[in-house]
Amino acid sequence: MITPDSEGGEMALVGVVQPPMANGEPVFEAPWQGRVFGMARALCERDIFHWDEFREKLIAEIGADESIGDYRYFDHFLMALTVLLEEKQLFGVDELNGRTHEYSERPHGHDHST
Amino acid sequence: MSKHIPPKHIPPKQSPQAIRAEALESILIEKGLLSSEAVDEVITRYSERIGPMNGARLVAKAWVDAEFKKLLLDDATSIVEEFDFEGGQVEKLVVVENTDNVHNAVVCTLCSCYPWAVLGLPPKWYKDPAYRSRIVREPRELLSEMGVKLDDHVEINIWDSSAEIRYMVLPMQPGGSEDLNEEQLASLVTRDSMIGVELLGS
């Protein structure tokens, strides 16, 4: 059973920081977008940070984006999350870069084809 | 600065962001800051609560406005088009009404067709072969197992969704909610009640 105040309000991602929405919910174009959204919410719910702190970082990331017509909300979302976590000294970006590199070297069924 | 990105066939998993997100999650898990279950739970919660809000709005309006209810039951497709829910692509939508004597439930026996324009993402069990076969073969028993205990006199109708036509259940208004306004009523309407596998207020 849901209650009248159970959704939306606390998230307060409105205005410039509102995620792409359809059908009243955030639209994830790829599974990883759902994962980062879920990570941010889960960390917030565990009081690792306050949602307002995250929102400030997200606003800054979006504000720094000067690209036109190629708006990538969840790229900013991921960046804002890593910036905040590093600022809180919960992990180092070097560590993330290292792990990312390691993962990207994994053999995979598909080739990168940009 | 505008970058031209050609149409791409990179599997989502291969994108640099996807790998970075995966790396981030694994580090955060190692550090004990979160668990993958917690992330799953957030995603599920959002798809259960936020997704079905459009359907819930239709149901609440039908409860308070008899004329609207008639229109909804006659031609839900047009109603949904009028509401202009984001997400486009509205297939033919049929709304079926639960009453004291008739209970409706929705399934897609072939795959997982679902009225996502009004209900958001389908729950995992909706795609489960067990649900898809048992709701047709032994609806009363399965519904009972899912918490919907129906009196023997209640007729059960199972609606099989397809690519062309989607169904949504108009659940019965829970007793004691007569004084609530439309918005409050909408908040009472659950996704499962609009699939027909939950009775509200029970």
Question: B44 and B113: one domain?
Answer: no
CB of A96 within 8 Å of a chain B CB? The answer is: yes
User: How far off is chain B from A70, nearest CA to CA, in Å?
Assistant: 7
Question: B81 and B180: one domain?
Answer: yes
Q: H-helix or E-strand containing B105?
A: strand B102-107
Read off the pTM: 0.57
Question: Tokens standing for A28?
Answer: 């994830």
| Residue A8 confidence (pLDDT) above 60 | no
User: What number is the ipTM of this complex?
Assistant: 0.79
Q: What is the domain extent for residue B35?
A: 16-48
Question: B89 and B189: one domain?
Answer: yes
Chain A residues close to B5, C-beta within 8 Å: 70
Per residue in B171-201, pLDDT tens?
999 999 999 999 899 989 998 999 999 999 8
Domain CATH code at residue B79? 3.90.330.10
Question: B37 and B82: one domain?
Answer: no
Number of domains forming the structure of chain B: 2
Choose, out of A13, A35, A45, A71, the residue to mutate when testing the contact with B (most B CBs < 10 Å).
A35
Does residue B128 lie in a domain region?
Answer: yes
